[in-house]
Copies of this chain bind each other. A is one copy, B any other.
Amino acid sequence: MIVFLKSDTSHQRAQELASSAEAFLISGPDGFVLINSSSVKTLAPQLEAHTRDFIVFADDLQLGSKKYQSQTREISFGSFSIGGNTGNTVVMSGPCSVESKAQIESSAGLVQELGLKVLRAGAFKPRTSPYTFQGLGTEGLALLSEMRERFGLTIISEIRDGSHVADVIAHADILQIGAKSMYDHAILKACGKSGKPVLIKRGFGTTLQEFVQAAEFVLSLGNPNVMLCERGIRSFETKTRFTLDLCGVAWLKEHTNFPIVLDPSHAMGYAYGVPDLARACVAMGVDGLLIEVHPEPGKALSDASQQLNHSEFRQLIASLHPIATAVGKRIC
Contact = CB atoms under 8 A, between A and B. Distances in A.
Contacts of A206: 205
Number of copies of this chain that the complex holds: 4
A102 interface: no
Interface in A264-292: 267-268, 272-273, 276-277, 279-285
A7 interface: no
A93 interface: no
- Interface size band for A: 35 or more
Interface in A10-60: 24, 35-40, 60
A205 B267 contact: no
A100 interface: no
A140 to B, nearest CB: 16
Interface stretch (A81-89, A112-120, A210-218): A210-218
Contacts of A180: 183-184
A129 B280 contact: no
A6 interface: no
Given A38-B131, A183-B128, A283-B283, A237 B245 contact: yes
A327 B279 contact: yes
A236 B239 contact: no
Nearest to A274: B250
A201 interface: no
Given A205-B236, A279-B327, A163 B183 contact: no
A240 interface: yes
Contacts of A238: 207, 236, 238
Contacts of A250: 240, 268, 272-273, 276-277
Contacts of A126: 185-186
A281 to B, nearest CB: 7
Contacts of A195: none
Contacts of A282: 283
User: Which of A128, A203, A206, A319 is the most central at the interface, judged by chain B CB atoms within 10 Å of its CB?
Assistant: A128
A188 to B, nearest CB: 8
A132 interface: yes
Nearest to A183: B180
User: Which of A210, A245, A283, A284 is the most central at the interface, judged by chain B CB atoms within 10 Å of its CB?
Assistant: A283
Contacts of A183: 128, 180-181
Contact of A37 (B129, B247, B249, B267): B129
17 contacts: A39-B131, A131-B220, A161-B185, A162-B165, A162-B186, A163-B189, A180-B184, A235-B236, A236-B238, A238-B238, A246-B276, A249-B276, A253-B273, A280-B281, A280-B283, A280-B284, A319-B327
Closest 4 CB pairs of A and B: A205-B205, A162-B162, A250-B273, A37-B131
Given A128-B183, A209-B239, 8 more contacts: A60-B129, A128-B209, A162-B163, A184-B184, A232-B247, A240-B251, A247-B277, A251-B273
